[in-house]
Structure 1
């Protein structure tokens, strides 16, 4: 498989951590990270980088200044919390524009677009992996470590204010990640948010009755905001 040599540049370490977690799930990406845009520019200009994941607002060098100096030497995907930069970015022929917080599905779509344009080595064809071919697990942040949890083991997730509890058949895992963040990073399907406080694994549902979802002995309410989408997906009218 052809590897996409990728460099993430962002002066916020937390933003780089999110990109690194996403990249670990994509087998054709080889990611390095830096918080120094000047160092990143030198590396990208050196010809050893295929793709740059570039933050727009950085103190030492803005994303637009970076693009001017890079002069199209590699593909660029912009990452920012501010959508008004999108039009200016496309004037530099950027490959895509990711709005923070960046979901895994949106990240995957963007890097697949770049990967599909990479010339194959002689005798090799470029095959873009589908989401089904990606690792079926996530690393969930607990108080002291990252815990690998297989998606197939997750039954549902209950959210608190700044944390969530992941329920499997055998354990409860308290994570410092919010329910909203988990909803952005878990694959859809099988996971679906059905209430402001709950995400369920659709393949774990045993029955649905009125406005309640049953997963074995667990009973999960369906919120008014999510009712129509849930009914459409499961056909429960």
Structure 2
């Protein structure tokens, strides 16, 4: 079940206790905190991870409307107040709902259900497309190497040799730097001096990897992790 992370902000401790009691009865709400200090609440929301804020309008250091202006739509907001005349001002900031104190459970539930319905129907953002190639610097050129053409990389002291289907490219990029750029487990560090493409491995025998282009040793440090990957554990 989707759960909404909730923060309640009100300078009246009694009001916070009421909201806390109501929120904890609703399965799709998760109360992550309450505060009587609106500036602390603003910082909490700006750090991320908050889906819904119950926000009092009348607070001393920062009013709810000032809070909304600074919030800039980072999460859903349900306003709470004892003064109904402020409702229209709140709706200028596209708040989800407006609750009049003393807040009844059924009214808070209805407002929360509205926010939940909107969140549940919001399309999940597509994950960013991962790169399918590596750019290798050789002399004064950048050479594009498609992952499908990359067989293995052999590291030296201050350089690395990138072996592809058609050529060997000498680069001053270290093996450690290349290892950070390549996706795992498509490419595996199997030795302090070698990275190998998993789909290019033909045979593994006696701590050696055989491909059509090389025989690559498996280092003691990397043996257990390599075995887990190739055996699907």
Alpha-carbon deviation of 1:121?
A: 9.9
What are the equivalent positions in structure 2 for 1:46-125 lying under 5 Å apart?
A: 46-119=47-120
Q: Hey, what's the Cα distance between the residues in 2 that align with 1:83 and 1:119? A: 29
Asked if the contact 1:56–1:64 (Cα under 8 Å) also holds between the matched residues in 2, the reply is yes
What are the equivalent positions in structure 2 for 1:198-213 lying under 5 Å apart?
A: none
Q: Hey, what's the Cα distance between the residues in 1 that align with 2:35 and 2:100? A: 19
Structure 2 residue aligned with 1:17? 17
Asked if the contact 1:8–1:53 (Cα under 8 Å) also holds between the matched residues in 2, the reply is yes
Q: Hey, what's the Cα distance between the residues in 1 that align with 2:58 and 2:121? A: 34
- CA distances 1:91-120 after superposition (whole Å, capped 9, x unpaired): 000000000001000000000000111147
Q: Hey, what's the Cα distance between the residues in 2 that align with 1:121 and 1:56? A: 28
Asked if the contact 1:77–1:110 (Cα under 8 Å) also holds between the matched residues in 2, the reply is yes
Structure 2 residue aligned with 1:207? none
Asked if the contact 1:3–1:28 (Cα under 8 Å) also holds between the matched residues in 2, the reply is yes
- CA distances 1:143-201 after superposition (whole Å, capped 9, x unpaired): xxxxxxxxxxxxxxxxxxxxxxxxxxxxxxxxxxxxxxxxxxxxxxxxxxxxxxxxxxx
Query: Could you say what secondary structure the match of 2:58 adopts?
Result: coil
Distance 1:25 1:65, change over 3 A: same
> CA RMSD, aligned part only?
1.7
Distance 1:33 1:99, change over 3 A: same
Q: Hey, what's the Cα distance between the residues in 2 that align with 1:105 and 1:122? A: 28
Structure 1 residue aligned with 2:155? none
Q: Hey, what's the Cα distance between the residues in 2 that align with 1:30 and 1:121? A: 19
Q: Hey, what's the Cα distance between the residues in 2 that align with 1:3 and 1:105? A: 19
Alpha-carbon deviation of 1:20?
A: 0.5
Query: Could you say what secondary structure the match of 1:14 adopts?
Result: helix
Uncovered stretches (5+) of structure 1, i.e. residues with no partner: 124-237
Paired positions, count: 123
- CA distances 1:15-47 after superposition (whole Å, capped 9, x unpaired): 000001101110111112111100100111122
Query: Could you say what secondary structure the match of 1:94 adopts?
Result: coil
Q: Hey, what's the Cα distance between the residues in 1 that align with 2:46 and 2:119? A: 18
Runs of 4+ in 1 over 4 A off after TM superposition: 120-123
Asked if the contact 1:79–1:98 (Cα under 8 Å) also holds between the matched residues in 2, the reply is yes
Q: Hey, what's the Cα distance between the residues in 2 that align with 1:38 and 1:56? A: 13
Q: Hey, what's the Cα distance between the residues in 1 that align with 2:53 and 2:37? A: 13
Q: Hey, what's the Cα distance between the residues in 1 that align with 2:122 and 2:101? A: 34
Distance 1:122 1:106, change over 3 A: closer
